[in-house]
Structure 1
Amino acid sequence: MRVGIAQIDADSLCDDLDANLEVLSSITAEAAERRIDLLVTPELMLTQYEPRLAARQAWRGSELRSKAANIAAAHQVGLVFSTPELDSQAVKPFITVTLCDRRGVRLLHHRKRVLFGDAERLRFGAGGEESGLANFDGFMVGLALCYEVEFPEVIRSLAMRGADLVCIPTALTASMPGQVSEQVTEVLVPARSVENQLFIAYSNYARPKFSGHSMVSGPLGVRTGAGHHAEIFYDDVTLAELKSSRALNTYLEDIP
């Protein structure tokens, strides 16, 4: 399966959500030209990652998800995208991630359970359930969002339930003194892949506002990654690689 990552420039997005949908359509069209099967995009791309603005647009979340699914169907590319979501039973909206297949059919939807910082916690509620798994081209796929990958329990739970690939939209900001942004991409994301013997597709925004370094990592670490600039790239992943590596690196079997 060819897994694509869209590391986009945050400045290409704006307050006009229809314009942001056009950006999604454009990068999905490019993914189709490259014969990408599944394209992963950054966190809250369709509203911009700015918690105050995204929360204000949560009432349009259902519309955004429907139009994004139509884009997937139009270009026949599977899509992973992130939107805010209102729930009449909840006080605050949620940050969510959705997986659609090539026909635009929604396979998975996950509400972010581990919110990052006061800006998110003030405006969004935490989801209550773990991501489910869905079959995409023979791979069992799970979902997570940004900060969640920094907690080993999140990815381990998906692995123990049979995940082969975890897709993670993120909005990891550029490092400041004392922060661990670089360690997340250089250490934690690859470690999650190795210790759980699965693939991770991690899609971030480009610099200067965000840290870049999107990647596809696998059971032996980073396979394909971006630098700081905007780009679309892909990696061809196989179940045979997982089977071979899991036979040698039996972490999941040997959990004490």
Structure 2
Amino acid sequence: MRVGIAQVAASALSAELDLNVAMLRSLAEQAARLHADILVTPELMLTRYEPAWAARHAAEGEWLREAAARISADAGVALVVSTPELADGRRFITVTLLAGGQALMHHRKRILFGAAEAASFEAGSEPTGVVELAGARIGLALCYEIEFPALARAAARAGADLMCVPTALTEGVTGQVSEQVPKVIVPARSIENQMHIAYANYARPEYIGQSTVTGPLGTLMRAGTEPVLAVHAIDIAAARAGRAINTYLQDLP
């Protein structure tokens, strides 16, 4: 499977949501030319990661996801896209896996980060599922959630080969810990759960970049700090076979 990471510049996003959709189309078409099977984009890319602003546009989340589904079908690339969602008067930060014009899986962020998110959104309550795509079993999470072992472990126990994680990791919010998320925490989640993780962040200056693809033996690819679309091939069969050697999952009580 070929996994794409879109590390976009937050400053390139617009208050005009149509322009962000157009950027997504361009990224999907570029990923298709690079023969990606799936492309992961940053958290709330279609509205910009500004929790209060995104929450005010939660009612537009449905058409944003519909537009992303059309782009996925047209480009022939599965997309992992994060949008706000309005459901029964409640607002959520969500991530959706889209392929062939359809939403295959949808996850509402369960662990919100900081006061800004908590003031604008509610936490989801349902665990992420796992769905088959291109020979891999895929799970979803959002940003801060991957920093908690239980969520990744639940996905692994459900059979996930790959977790796709849109994020919006800045350089000053969590101090020195920020740099350690893509360098230490995400690779550790892959090793302890014997699965791949595709972690897509925004580029500098406001964010730290360093979007990452990891595997059962650690980091496979890490982007720098500038905007980039990178594609990395992962070996699902080898990872599954490796679980018989590194038996973390089966040895856990």
**Alignment TM-score > 0.5, same fold:** yes
CA contact (8 A) 1:144 1:168 kept: yes
- Per the alignment, residue 19 of structure 1 pairs with 19
Deviation at 1:240, TM superposition (A): 2.1
Deviation at 1:177, TM superposition (A): 7.4
CA contact (8 A) 1:82 1:97 kept: yes
Deviation at 1:179, TM superposition (A): 4.2
The 5 A counterparts of 1:117-132 are: 117-132=114-129
Unaligned runs of 5+ in 2: none
CA distance in 1, matches of 2:240, 2:17: 42
RMSD: 1.1
- Per the alignment, residue 237 of structure 2 pairs with 240
- Per the alignment, residue 36 of structure 1 pairs with 36
- Tell me the SS of whatever aligns to 1:147: helix
- Per the alignment, residue 159 of structure 1 pairs with 156
Deviations 1:10-64 (A, max 9, x none): 0110100000001000111100111111000000000000001100111100010
Deviation at 1:131, TM superposition (A): 0.8
Deviations 1:70-92 (A, max 9, x none): 0001111100000000011x4x3
AA matched with 2:139: G
AA matched with 2:73: A
CA distance in 1, matches of 2:95, 2:24: 15
AA matched with 1:255: L
CA distance in 2, matches of 1:97, 1:248: 33
AA matched with 2:79: L
The 5 A counterparts of 1:178-193 are: 178-193=175-190
CA distance in 2, matches of 1:7, 1:148: 19
Q: Which one of 203, 208, 220 corresponds to residue 205 of structure 2?
A: 208
AA matched with 1:63: W
Aligned residues: 253
Unaligned runs of 5+ in 1: none
Deviation at 1:185, TM superposition (A): 1.0
- Per the alignment, residue 54 of structure 1 pairs with 54
AA matched with 2:92: F
CA distance in 2, matches of 1:164, 1:175: 32
CA distance in 2, matches of 1:177, 1:25: 32
Residue 98 in structure 1 maps to residue 96 in structure 2: yes
CA distance in 1, matches of 2:59, 2:241: 46
Deviation at 1:243, TM superposition (A): 2.5
- Per the alignment, residue 68 of structure 1 pairs with 68
Deviation at 1:215, TM superposition (A): 0.9
Deviation at 1:176, TM superposition (A): 5.7
- Per the alignment, residue 108 of structure 2 pairs with 111
CA distance in 2, matches of 1:15, 1:170: 19
AA matched with 2:96: T
CA distance in 2, matches of 1:238, 1:189: 18
AA matched with 1:95: I
Summarize the Cα distance change of 1:246–1:40 in structure 2 as closer, same or farther, 3 Å threshold.
same
AA matched with 2:106: H
Summarize the Cα distance change of 1:178–1:237 in structure 2 as closer, same or farther, 3 Å threshold.
closer
- Give runs of ≥4 in structure 1 deviating > 2 Å: 175-179
CA distance in 2, matches of 1:249, 1:255: 12
AA matched with 1:239: I
Q: Which one of 220, 225, 240 corresponds to residue 222 of structure 2?
A: 225
Deviation at 1:244, TM superposition (A): 3.2
AA matched with 2:27: I
- Tell me the SS of whatever aligns to 2:210: coil
AA matched with 2:46: L
Give the TM-score normalised by structure 2.
Answer: 0.98
